[in-house]
Structure 1
Amino acid sequence: MRRDMDLVRSILLRIEESELPYHDGILEIEGWSEGEIIYHLNLLIQAGFVNALELGDVNTPFGYQFQDASLTWSGHEFLDKVRDPEIWKKTKEGAAKVGTWSVSIIAEIAKGLMFQKARELSLPIL
């Protein structure tokens, strides 16, 4: 299965919008299957963007689910860079031109776009 950065962003947004750690078991996100979501949630846990309790031997088609999912500091930092839909769209366009969808490249492209937007708004940046 290929990593889908749109799904990564959607999962981070969904977890963030919960007032408490996401506790409903399986995340449901329109347009993606349960298997795709679980795969990407696993990737986010491996990357250190999400903490979650994995429930073993659960009666689901995939045999497990997660609960108490919450963003880590790194997850918040990445999401803050790609949250804005306009910046996300331009970030994806930039990543396609560069030819890579690595998290570090996406974060740097988004960061550059954020700085550009801040300059356009005459905001001081370091």
Structure 2
Amino acid sequence: MKRDMELVRDLLLLIEKNDDSKELIIPENWNREIVAYHLKILDQAGYVKNNTKWAANKPMWLIASLTWDGHEFLDSIKNDNVWVKTKDGVKKKGLELGSIPFDVLKEFASIQLKSVLGI
């Protein structure tokens, strides 16, 4: 399965809004298996603590909380202007958002945020 960085951003935003002790209520048009996969890899990367519960080989309860690093990354991509500039910059280089290393994406988003802040 390919990483979907739009979904990653949407998940991080959703988790931030959610109470850590409650199940994530995801939009009906989101695929629960794809969401569960992205929560798993975000956990592996240290950005969330994932507590997804499975039943009958399906993710039934999606529970996750942001880590410090998750908050830091989300803060760098939360602003819509920064996110658009990050995506556009990647596309201008002829690349897809999900095909570049995560650390490169993080650094590029950070540069875009610094530009918006005038730093």
TM-score bin (small chain): 0.7 to 0.9
Distance 1:83 1:64, change over 3 A: same
Equivalent position to 2:92, from 87, 93, 97: 97
Alpha-carbon distance in structure 1 between the residues aligned to 2:21 and 2:101: 26
8 Å CA contact 1:49, 1:73 repeated in 2: yes
Count how many residue pairs are aligned between Structure 1 and Structure 2: 115
- The RMSD of aligned alpha carbons is 2.1
After TM superposition, the score normalised by the length of structure 1 is 0.78
SS at match of 1:51: strand
Identical positions, percent = 36
SS at match of 1:70: strand
Distance 1:31 1:55, change over 3 A: closer
Matches within 5 A, 1:98-117: 98=93, 99=95, 100-117=99-116
Residue equivalent to 1:5: 5
1:27 to partner: Cα distance: 4.3
1:97 to partner: Cα distance: 3.3
Q: Where do 5+ consecutive residues of structure 2 fail to align?
A: none
After TM superposition, the score normalised by the length of structure 2 is 0.82
Tell me which of the two structures has the higher relative contact order, counting C-alpha pairs closer than 8 angstroms and 6 or more residues apart: 2
Larger-gyration structure (1/2): 1
